[in-house]
Amino acid sequence: MQKTPAECTTMADVRAEIDRLDRALMVLFAERWGYIVRAAEIKRPLKLKADIPARVSEVKENARRNAVDLGLEPEFYEQLWAQLIEQAIAHEKRLLGEDER
């Protein structure tokens, strides 16, 4: 049964909840990755590049703003999202054949 942080009374409780959340985050990352693949499929016939700097900036700013809104450290989450974006662009480039040019 899921517990809130306040309901956790042992380290085992805390660890179980962290493990549960880590799995849930991975499920969300997998879902996000599906959209990255779909973006490449949509970009191909439109002859769009994998890297669209305006969108990269927008996603990083969204991460920063969301972190602030949730009381999290914005620089850390912006950097984390920058890594997600970098990986996604590299994957899209492979899918679009941009890494072969």
What the chain holds in terms of domains, given with CATH numbers, is 5-100 (1.20.59.10)
d(CA 66, CA 60) in angstroms, rounded, equals: 10
d(CA 77, CA 51) in angstroms, rounded, equals: 20
Q: Give the predicted TM-score (pTM) of the model.
A: 0.86
pLDDT band at 101 (very low <50, low <70, confident <90, very high): low
pLDDT at res. 99: 75
Mark the binding-site residues for substrate, compressed into ranges. 15, 32, 43, 92
Mark the binding-site residues, compressed into ranges. 15, 32, 43, 92
Q: 66 pLDDT exceeds 80?
A: yes
pLDDT at res. 7: 98
Give the percent of the chain with pLDDT over 90. Answer: 96
